[in-house]
Amino acid sequence: MGSLEELLNADSPDVAAVRAAAEKVLSQRAATQADHLAAAVAVRTILTADQLDQVRRSVCDAGPSKDG
């Protein structure tokens, strides 16, 4: 099976193959997101309340720049 992009760019795309490749990509994204959330929860169990407040403040301060 080729990559999703290759399958989509084929002269006659195979719908079943495209669907299977798309489901694989979505499954991988879901697994990555779940890992990210698990890491965030793990961090919360390690840091003190004061440290969590510091992290939250630094994240807010590091938001999008006003210069665009």
In a domain, 19, yes or no: yes
Secondary structure of the chain as H, E, C letters: CCCHHHHHCCCCCCHHHHHHHHHHHHHHHHHHHHHHHHHHHHHHHHCCHHHHHHHHHHHHHCCCCCCC
**Residue 68 domain flag:** no
Residue 4 banded pLDDT, cuts 50, 70, 90:
very high
Domain count, the chain: 1
User: What's the pLDDT tens digit per position in 8-67?
Assistant: 999 999 999 999 999 999 999 999 999 999 999 999 999 999 999 998 899 888 766 665
9-26 tens-digit pLDDT: 999 999 999 999 999 999
pTM, two decimals, is 0.64
pLDDT of 65 reads: 64
State the residue range of the domain holding 13: 4-61
11, part of any domain: yes
Nearest to 43 by CA among 31, 32, 54: 54
Are 21 and 3 contacting, i.e. CB atoms less than 8 angstroms apart?
A: yes
Residue 67 placed within a domain: no
> Is 15 a member of any domain?
yes
In a domain, 54, yes or no: yes
